[in-house]
Each structure stands twice: as C-alpha cells, then as structure tokens.
Amino acid sequence: MHTTPGLAARLRISLALAVALIVLALLGLEPPALAVGAVGAPGFALGGLWFLVRRRAQAREHLAKGALYAVVLVVGLFASVAQDRTAMARAAELIDALERHAGARGEYPEGLDALVPGELPALPPPSSKPLGQDRFVYRRVADGYVLGYRAFGLVLRLYDSRERIWRVRD
C-alpha cells in the first residue's frame, strides 16, 4: 500500500533541495537555483494563497515552500552578481595586459597564453568558484580582439576592443 509522506517529510524534502541548490549556487553553478527559485517561489506562493481560500492545511505547506524557493532565488541572484563582478574585474586585468602586449609588439597576441609570463604571472579564470567557468574566450580579429566569458551561467559577455564596449549575447 502506498502512503503519501506527511507535511513534515515533504517540507524536509523541499528544504534538502533548497540547500542543495544554494550550495551549487555558492560553488559557481547558479542556473539551477535561478530556474527553480524563479518558478518555485511564485508557484508555491500562489498555490498557498489558493489553498488558503480552499484548504487551510495545504496553504501552510505551499506558503512555506514558496518562501523557501524565494530564498533560493535570492541566493542564486547574489551568487551570480558576485561571480559576474569577479569576472569583470579579471577581464579588466586581461584587457590591460592585451593593450600592453599590443603596445610593445605592435599587434595583439594569437592567444591569451602569449601574455604569460611577460604581461601576467598567470591567466586569471573568470571565476574563483570550484564549479565556475575556468577560462576566458579570446579571438584576435582585424584591428583588435574579442574577449568573453559566461555571465549568469546563461549568456556570453563579449568585449570588443575596436569599439571598447561590452555586449551580451545569448
């Protein structure tokens, strides 16, 4: 005979999922936390309000889960913003090194590895988190270069040296 878990068991399962998503976000893998939080928080909150009108016992569970997934979403957003700020600061170091290299040699390098050890002691990764992106993308183009990295785990941020601007490409 199949029995449904009680309220406490269902909330423990949701809490375990939320903790796992928060840990992944803090380690550098934010998209699952953002997706589950963005869907779960409003979904369970609306479900809780609906059940508040219809069945009070289920309303508490849905409202609690909605609040839990709202926390997951907020942590995922903060982790994404922090990782993006780190990547932008490290990209600025690379841009300075690329400009120094071009000033000294008259052209931009074929690859980022050419910057080490002359311009940089080591190539910085976009993220310092264990599950974060490990390398910047780089391509030399006519009269310049394009430098990029994954932002928020979903989009590619690209810096075009010819225009000296950042663009976002999904």
**65 found inside a domain:** yes
pLDDT, tens digit, for every residue of 50-102? 666 666 667 777 777 878 888 888 888 888 888 888 899 999 999 999 999 99
Q: Summarize the confidence of residues 2-28 as an average pLDDT.
A: 73
- What is the residue range of 88's domain? 82-169
Is the domain of 95 the same as that of 139? yes
Sheet holding 144-151, edge to edge: 137-141, 144-151, 155-160, 165-169
Is the domain of 75 the same as that of 86? no
Give the residue among 164, 156, 126, 101 at the shortest CA–CA distance from 28. Answer: 126
Is the domain of 21 the same as that of 65? yes
Q: Summarize the confidence of residues 151-163 as an average pLDDT.
A: 85
Is the domain of 69 the same as that of 97? no
Is the model's pLDDT at 165 over the cut of 80?
yes
Is the domain of 39 the same as that of 68? yes
Which pairs with CB-CB distance under 8 Å and at least 24 residues apart come from 58-62?
Answer: 60/7, 61/7, 61/10, 61/11
pLDDT value, residue 14: 77
Is the domain of 104 the same as that of 49? no
Q: Which of 9-23, 96-110, 133-147 has the lowest mean pLDDT?
A: 9-23
Average pLDDT taken over every residue of the chain: 82
Is the domain of 90 the same as that of 125? yes
The token pair at 67 is 């609040």
Is the domain of 65 the same as that of 86? no
pLDDT value, residue 7: 64
Number of Cβ within 10 Å of residue 35's Cβ equals: 16
Tally of structural domains, the chain: 2
Of 53, 79, 105, the position where a domain reaches its end is 79
**64 found inside a domain:** yes
Is the domain of 11 the same as that of 74? yes
